[in-house]
Amino acid sequence: MVVHLITNASVLDSPGKFQASVYIIHSLGAALPLIEWVFIFIPIIFHGVVGLFLIAEMAPNNAAYNYNGNFRYTMQRITGLIAFAFIAWHIFHMHGWFHAEWWAATVSGPLGGANFHPYNAASSASEAMRHPLAIVIYVIGVLACVYHLANGIWSMGVTWGWWTTPRSMRRAVVGCAVFGVLLAVVSMGAVWGMVTVDLDDARAVENRMLEARIEDGMITEHEAEEKRAPLAPQNRDRAATEAEPAAQEF
Ligand code: HEM
């Protein structure tokens, strides 16, 4: 999550910088879906399902004992629920969950998912996030994830015996809080950077980067077609009548 948020925040530097990072990730090619499922989706599903069982057994006592630790116990569970729902929605919104054509045609496309196009990375992510409701969901969802991670590291340290004395626990609270605040700043920078992308500039840079890679033979025309954003309808008609594909405007 830390790497993901820092990568996303690189859009603040420029859409080209973000695009360059996405090219590195997508250079994994056919291995990417396997890596996504083994190292990202299955662990998140596992963590989420175990978490739901823990929440079902929770016994909050904030009303009777208004301690800081009790507040964090309850917040950890509330943010866990929000984070689980957010991550499920977010992966659908950007990635679509599955890449199969029938899935895209019947489920993720019609339901407004799979908006991220890796070869038009910043512009497609930005277009997907511009709606006011999407921005609100992103801000709440991302901050819930950040809190859940920072406070979760603290409780993991208690469980695993990293901090055992009251003094070391207090110091760990401060360390985890500083980490959480820094990550919250990075994450809000990422949201801000995405929604304020200049779409025309970003599309132009992304398309130049893609054309260069096609020319170098690093990306095939077929792969480019699969992973670039579709042409806007008004440009589709014009592109069909133009002989030179490189002259297409987006
Ligand atoms: C600033 C907010 C965020 C932005 C702009 C953002 C952007 C994106 C984008 C563009 C993708 C699609 C990547 C692809 O399909 O290749 C993605 C996927 C994903 N995001 Fe985020 N994300 C954000 C926050 C988060 C947070 C807080 C989490 C929590 C863990 C998260 C977890 C994931 C996961 C698990 C995937 C699927 C991984 C994959 O497709 O390989 N994201 N995100």
Q: Is residue 248 part of a domain?
A: no
Confidence band of 15 (pLDDT split at 50, 70, 90): very high
Structural domains in the chain (count): 1
Structure-token match 């659908």, residue found: 92
Give the residue whose CA is nearest to atom 4 of ligand 1. 8
Please tell me whether the overall predicted TM-score, pTM, comes out greater than 0.85 for this model. Answer: yes
**Is 94's C-beta closer than 6 angstroms to any atom of ligand 1?**
yes
Structure-token match 């899935």, residue found: 103
Confidence band of 123 (pLDDT split at 50, 70, 90): very high
DSSP 165: S
Residue 194 near residue 122, CB atoms below 8 Å: yes
Q: Is residue 7 part of a domain?
A: no
Q: Is residue 152 part of a domain?
A: yes
Residue 213 near residue 104, CB atoms below 8 Å: no
Which of 1, 2, 3, 4 to probe ligand 1 with, by most ligand atoms within 8 A of CB? 4
* HEC sequence for 125-140: HHHHHCCHHHHHHHHH
Token pair for 11:
């859009």
Q: Is residue 249 part of a domain?
A: no
Structure-token match 């297409």, residue found: 248
Domain of residue 54 covers 33-231
Give the Å distance between the CA of 3 and the centre of ligand 1: 10
Residue 145 near residue 152, CB atoms below 8 Å: no
Confidence check: pLDDT of 248 > 50? no
Give the residue whose CA is nearest to atom 6 of ligand 1. 8
Q: Is residue 24 part of a domain?
A: no
Give the Å distance between the CA of 4 and the centre of ligand 1: 7
Distance CA 76, CA 139 (A): 17
Tell me the per-residue pLDDT of 58-77, one tens digit each, with 9 for 90 and over: 777 766 666 788 899 999 99
